[in-house]
Amino acid sequence: MVFGWFSKKKQDNSTIKYKVVSRKEASDEYVKYGEDMANSNNLDKAIECFDKALGINPKNDFAWGDRGLILDKQGKTEEALASFSKAIEIDPKNANTWNNKG
């Protein structure tokens, strides 16, 4: 399946190229952007990106795990644990997620 990625006009009327990617790639791009937002301490925007990634690909264990880390930083322990549990359900062999849940 093919999924459309960004296509919009910049302020100078030039166009950002339209890139066609798979749903997995689009979801992974949102995860990368969310990680950038988290590293910039923009936690609400990071959660928004992870949620968009999950809206595209609900089986993205990295989005669930990263979402759990940010929720934990925000003091939302129960929501964080639920996100880590979902990530573990998708990939039970990911030791980082198990560690983060602990």
The pLDDT, as a whole number, for residue 38 is 96
Q: Between 58 and 9, whose confidence is greater?
A: 58
Domain that includes residue 54, residue range: 23-101
Q: pLDDT for 47-89, tens place per residue?
A: 999 999 999 999 999 999 999 999 999 999 999 999 999 999 9
**Strand residue runs (E) in 5-85:** 20-22
* 12 located within any domain: no
Indicate which CATH number applies to the domain containing 62.
1.25.40.10
* 34 located within any domain: yes
* 8 located within any domain: no
Paired with 3 in beta bridges are: 21
Tokens representing 102 are 């602990």
Q: Which amino acid is at 74?
A: Q
Q: pLDDT for 19-53, tens place per residue?
A: 667 889 889 999 999 999 999 999 999 999 999 99
